Chains A and B, each alone.
Chain A
Amino acid sequence: MREISRDMFAPAARNASPDGGAVVRPSLSYWQDAWRRLCKNRVASLGLLILAAYVIMAIAIPMLSDTDYRSIDADSIDSPPTAAHWFGTDTLGRDMWARTWAGARVSLSIGILAATINAIIGVIIGGVSGYFGGKLDMAVMRLLDVVSGIPYLIVAILVMVVLGEGITPLIIAMITIGWVGSARLVRGQALQLKNQEYVLAAKKLGASHARIIICHLIPNTMGLILTNVTMAVPYSIFTEAFLSYIGLGVQPPGVSWGLLARYGSQSFRFAPWQLFIPSFFIGTTMLSLYLLGDGLRDALDPKLRN
């Protein structure tokens, strides 16, 4: 048997080996790592590129182009795509190319802003409600029931009465009632996840409630949150179209993708491009969001992090 001497229990010196304490590669934060993995994902990068292109076109084209989206060309009404009118014209002879990009401004800002803000509010409220549970959860969820029971037309009209018409009041009206869906979804996930072992471990290590919700529950529901955001974008675009159509929101000659699709669906039997063009842009925006969302999901999933 080996002799156990006292000096075997002496504390080890720091940096006993030449590079024992050195960091092999710079440590990445959660978000840096997510960005790196997102860029590696080719399909997701493509989605991001298309979205970025649409946003830039929506900003640049109405500023640079000399055709106004409101001006009427009486000689070419309902004209199919030609050299003069790349996307054809509508029933009043207005240039569809100019209208598409003018509409992109409204639809993209409403779609992305409303969906993102809704998700943020929903995640906070749903996460807190599900994590703490009990009476707080009961109260918050009944509040959600009440909010989702209020007809959104009433909310939209009242918001417009108070704040006037325009895009900002429209977004505010959508947020007032729209956060409910993501709050419910995150709350359900929090109920399920808060009993997982890693939450218990974090609790026993003395993590605060806020830390557990932000660093443990939310990253693990990120996939669903992102899916929900990407689904909420077209929902906001079409809600805007419906509200504008019945006279709340964007007023003629103002235009949005949803409104273009709505007008187009009335004349698609003789002028199908009027429906196909806005539908194409809504569709490709959705596809890019879908691919980007899927890539982000992988990039943000803590379980896949290495």
Chain B
Amino acid sequence: MLRYILKRLVISFFTVMVLVTVVFFLVRAMPGEPFLSDKLTPEIRENMVRYYGFDKPLYVQYFTYIKNLLRGDLGVSMHYHGIPVTQIIRDSFPYSASLGIRALIVAIFAGITLGVASALNRGRFLDYCCIIVAVLGVSLPDFVTGYLLQYVFSIKLKLLPIAMWRGFKYTVLPTFALSFYTTALLARITRASMLEVTNQDYIKVAKAKGLGVFQIVVRHELRNAILPVITILGPVTAAILTGTFIIESIYAIPGMGKFYVSGIQNLDYSQVLGLTLFYGIFIVIANFVVDILYGFVDPRIRADRRDAS
């Protein structure tokens, strides 16, 4: 196990480096350049180009970037002049992560419960309730749920604050708005996966042995059905924790979401690369954890992995 983890860490490092390399050259291939404002005089422009090293050949810039990266320096933002990218991340990530963790907890709890309940009651009332939640969750996009929740709970009922991020009361609406889609996704995947399992022989055996319903559902059905849920949760966790553009802008939360879009719109190369790296590390770690969890949930996969390495 230790050997496997060490090996994965080394591979993870190279995966992230490949990602940074690919995005470095992709972002440079985009049309336009960062300093196009009319307000810049040619002298200032030239100074800025020299400051950011754009006068050097691309491969020299690449190696400089990697060298700085390995020292933990992500460079300076080009749009927010003089602010290091690490500082942008440090300032905005806590908000996104705090909102993301809340939404994730709600989604995991509600999604899996709904999925199990609807699979057990297939074709009956509870199943249809779950279908409605799942269909609403995926057919109402986040910009609609965001506005609707604000409209109903803040404007009409005046129960919760409409926006900002100043305490628990402020977190409720964005948490639900953000968790809605993920809840629906997890409910559907759980339901589909549970249905694959319910007809298996070992469930019949468990029933024939006279085990309690709870034990059959949790220890036999859910444990065998949870694998695809874990698969989905890996990338979903990475995406939710690192911020979402629409929900954060609807609720005026100073998270990371907007920087992904603004970085690309402003062609702020260092910001795009820094955020890609940050998100990439999350993806790699999340999928690493998923692969380890596979082994715990299904020992057959673990045995297989040992043969392979």
Mark B residues whose CB is within 8 Å of A.
Answer: 11, 14-16, 18-19, 22-23, 26-27, 29-31, 131, 134-136, 138-141, 143-144, 147, 151, 185, 188-189, 191-193, 195-196, 199, 227-228, 230-232, 234-235, 246, 260-261, 264-265, 272, 275-276, 279-280, 283-284, 287, 290-291, 294, 298, 300-301, 304-305, 308-309
Report chain A residues within 8 Å CB of B26.
150, 154-155, 158
Chain A, interface SS category: helix
B276 touches A231 (CB 8 A): no
A188 touches B280 (CB 8 A): no
Report chain A residues within 8 Å CB of B301.
191-192, 195
Distance in angstroms between the alpha carbons of A283 and B136 in the assembled complex: 7
A133 touches B227 (CB 8 A): no
Report chain B residues within 8 Å CB of A282.
139
In the assembled complex, A169 has its CB within 8 A of some CB on chain B: no
Query: 1/0 per position for A168-184, CB-CB distance to B under 8 A?
Result: 00000000000011001
Distance in angstroms between the alpha carbons of A96 and B272 in the assembled complex: 39
Given A135-B308, A151-B276, A185-B231, CB of A223 within 8 Å of CB of B196:
yes
Query: 1/0 per position for A214-249, CB-CB distance to B under 8 A?
Result: 000000100110111011001100100110001000
In chain A, positions 109-150 with a C-beta closer than 8 Å to chain B are 133-135, 137-138, 141-142, 144-146, 148-150
B134 touches A191 (CB 8 A): no
Instruction: List 5 A-B residue pairs with CB atoms under 8 Å apart, sorted by A's residue number.
Output: A142-B18, A144-B287, A145-B283, A151-B272, A223-B196
B228 touches A189 (CB 8 A): yes
Interface size bracket, A side? 35 or more
A151 touches B151 (CB 8 A): no
A150 touches B22 (CB 8 A): yes
Given A149-B279, A150-B276, A158-B30, CB of A262 within 8 Å of CB of B23:
no
A133 touches B264 (CB 8 A): no
Report chain B residues within 8 Å CB of A279.
139-140, 144
Q: From B231, B246, B261, B308, give the contact of A184 (CB < 8 A).
A: B231
Q: From A145, A242, A269, A303, give the contact of B287 (CB < 8 A).
A: A145
State the Cβ distance, A119 to closest chain B Cβ, in Å.
Answer: 14
Report chain A residues within 8 Å CB of B192.
223-224, 226-227, 297
Distance in angstroms between the alpha carbons of A180 and B231 in the assembled complex: 12
Given A133-B304, A153-B260, A275-B144, CB of A138 within 8 Å of CB of B18:
no
Given A138-B11, A191-B301, A224-B192, CB of A150 within 8 Å of CB of B19:
yes
State the Cβ distance, B182 to closest chain A Cβ, in Å.
Answer: 11
A188 touches B228 (CB 8 A): yes
A157 touches B30 (CB 8 A): yes
Extra contacts, 20 of them, besides A154-B26, A286-B135 (Cβ < 8 A), are: A145-B280, A145-B283, A145-B287, A150-B22, A150-B276, A154-B27, A188-B228, A189-B227, A192-B301, A223-B193, A224-B228, A227-B188, A227-B189, A228-B189, A234-B138, A246-B265, A283-B139, A287-B135, A290-B135, A301-B196
